[in-house]
Structure 1
Amino acid sequence: MSRQPASRARPKGRPTRKKKPSIVDRILARIPLSHVALRRIATWAVVLIALGGVYVAGAVTGVNASVGNALAEQIGKAGFRVEQIEVRGVKRMDVTTVYAVALDQKSRAMPLVDLNLVRDRLLQYGWVQDAHVSRRLPDTLLIRIVERTPAAVWQDRGTLSLIDRDGVYLEPVSANAMPDLPLVIGPGADRQEPAYQTLMVAAPALKPKVRAATWVGNRRWDLLFDSGETLSLPEGEDEAAKALKLFAEKDGTDKLLGNGYIKFDLRDPTRMVVRKPDPATRAPSPKPTATGKPETTKSDRAPTRDTV
């Protein structure tokens, strides 16, 4: 009886040889993105290339751009469509206005959203000094707003408005909720706000003491101080700055403000005319008349004037 060779049993526990990952797999493993994100990026790259090819072909052959628009709409249906608006930098502006501008599009497909148009529309609002609009794939528009800074309150014909240092209108202001900002008064005073800011640089110590500044006759400034005095400045930016600096120096040495004066006139920069109230201008006590009504009298004496 012949013996047949027994089949050799496979050794137990011997590991199977694993297939080495390809170079592409190793590169992708090093990229700090999820497979889902990588798939979306790859899809976006492909559709952009395809869209670019369509537009190039249209430009060469004269094919209507509706083909490209149709492809862009398909991209939107694939998930690349504006579904969220992320707004940053808004502190005082109404954020719903930003949303309304961003969503006012013919199509919300990402390739068809006009970023420049959104920015241009936002720049039409007073609060917006600058705006940056970008896409964040797959479905978000990111809008960064740079707001203007309020610098003064402008009063004209009984209306109060908030303006920035360039005189740009921001929003109306209620008289019951006046912010702690300089008050500029008169027609055209808003356009003179940059000049007013420059003027106050000449005498920074006086700036916190100024309650209001009136633009007179579209030519010059009258300053009203917290202590109640008025300072009339001459015409011309340089002349007004020199006069204000001179007044600040005199106030520093002679303490003009809060010393009983009512007006300082420096419209002629070579001399300062000072006015102070005359006690004799007080109206006498009313005397009864035959009708029983008090008799009113008027004083024709003006406040005293001194030239310094």
Structure 2
Amino acid sequence: MTAARGTGHRTRTAAASAGRRPRAGTHRTSRSQARGAMRSYSTTAAGTGHLRVHRLTRARWRFLLPKVCAWVLLLAAAGLLAYMFISADFYVWDVEVEGARWVRGQDLLQAAGLEGLSIFYADPVVITRRLESLPQIARAEVTCDLPARVRVLVTERTPAAVWQNHGVQYWVDQEGVLFPRLGELENPLIIVEQDGPARAAGDRVEARVVEAAGRLAELIPGVRIVGYSSADGLFFDIPQGYRVLTRPERDMEAVAAALQALLDKLSREGISARVLDLRYESRAYWR
């Protein structure tokens, strides 16, 4: 009984052992396969997750990059604008003047209102209008360039004579425009207005008076001062000691010829006179 019991026990143990080993082996094989499957799944899952993250990052950059570039450009433009309006390099402190003989660049700078002005506020049309409002400027052309360059091409009025009114002298051009004396003329013709109102630079006088006085100075030697009054017309003194009267509407060549004929008559006949009146075409008078 004992032996049998022991044999039976060993038989069951062997059989049990034999029966359990395959199951144990099967269990171990399944566990290994499971572990491999898990590793494979984990690896695949990790790779897929990494790919998803990578794709998500690229998508975000594609979305954000234009906005980032736009902000960078906006900030750069704002900085550039701030620099251009703050920096002294873009403010006008001088002008380049061409065509000027008498007018100074500093006078034009102040008259145009450009001194210390930002180049971005310099309007050539407005500047041209301001400069042409000056009596001494007939025409002006203005160009503005960065950073702060202003060029002015001017056409000055040309003085034909000096116009004296109530003791004040101006220059006057052939159009009869009075403007300030900007220098000294060599042996100028002076027209002295006797009975007119007080004048100012920019006023206009009769252009025919200026033209007639100029022709007299050309045709009659020694005439450099011509008087004018609205009542008596033009008058001037000649070296022979006579005062001559005439009118600006007359032909000055005819006046010069009549004067010479009258001087010859007075000299030939020994007539003494002080005033020679040539205001009328029909006849010359003396007294």
TM-score band by shorter chain is 0.5 to 0.7
Task: Letter of the 1:222 partner, please give it.
Answer: F
Matched, 1:95 2:105: yes
More helix by proportion, 1 or 2? 2
Q: Which runs of 5+ in 2 are unaligned?
A: 1-77, 198-203
Residue identity opposite 1:264 in structure 2: L
1:151-209 deviation digits (Å, cap 9, x = unpaired): 111222222222222222222599xx775111111244971344331465489422x43
**Aligned match of 2:126:** 117
Once the two structures are superposed, the pairs formed by residues 176-187 of structure 1 within 5 Å of their partners are 179-186=186-193, 187=195
Give yes or no for contact 2:213–2:226 (8 Å, CA) kept in 1: no
The answer to whether the 8 A contact 1:131-1:145 is kept is yes
Q: Structure 2: how far apart are the matches of 1:71 and 1:261?
A: 86
Cα deviation code 1:96-125 (max 9, x no counterpart): 111223453895143x32111111111122
3-state DSSP of counterpart to 1:270: coil
- Counterpart of 2:279 (choices 255, 267, 281) is 267
Q: Give the direction of change, closer, same or farther, for the CA distance of 1:113–1:164 in structure 2 (3 Å limit).
A: same
8 Å Cα contact 1:132/1:143 also seen in 2: yes
Aligned equivalent of 1:195: 209
Which of these residues, 114, 117, 131, is aligned with residue 104 of structure 1? 114
CA offsets per residue over residues 2-23 of structure 1, 9 Å max, x none? Answer: xxxxxxxxxxxxxxxxxxxxxx
CA contact (8 A) 1:130 1:145 kept: yes
CA offsets 1:11-62 (integer angstroms, 9 cap, x no match): xxxxxxxxxxxxxxxxxxxxxxxxxxxxxxxxxxxxxxxxxxxxxxxxxxxx
Q: Normalized against structure 2, the TM-score is what?
A: 0.55
Q: Does 1:220 align with 2:230?
A: no
Q: Give the aligned partner of residue 232 of structure 1.
A: 245
Residue of 146, 153, 169 corresponding to 1:144: 153
Q: Is the 1:212–1:225 Cα contact (8 Å) retained in structure 2?
A: no
Q: Under a length normalisation based on structure 1, what TM-score does the superposition of the two structures give?
A: 0.51
Structure with more contact order per residue of length (Cα contacts < 8 Å, sep ≥ 6) = 2
* Candidates 95, 114, 117, aligned match of 1:85: 95
- The answer to whether the 8 Å contact 2:91/2:116 transfers is no
State which structure, 1 or 2, has the greater radius of gyration over its C-alpha atoms.
2
User: Structure 1 stretches of 5 or more lacking a match?
Assistant: 1-69, 276-308
Matched-pair identity in %:
19
Contact 1:188 1:215 in 2 (8 A): no
Alignment coverage as a number of residue pairs: 198
Give the CA deviation at 1:140. 0.6
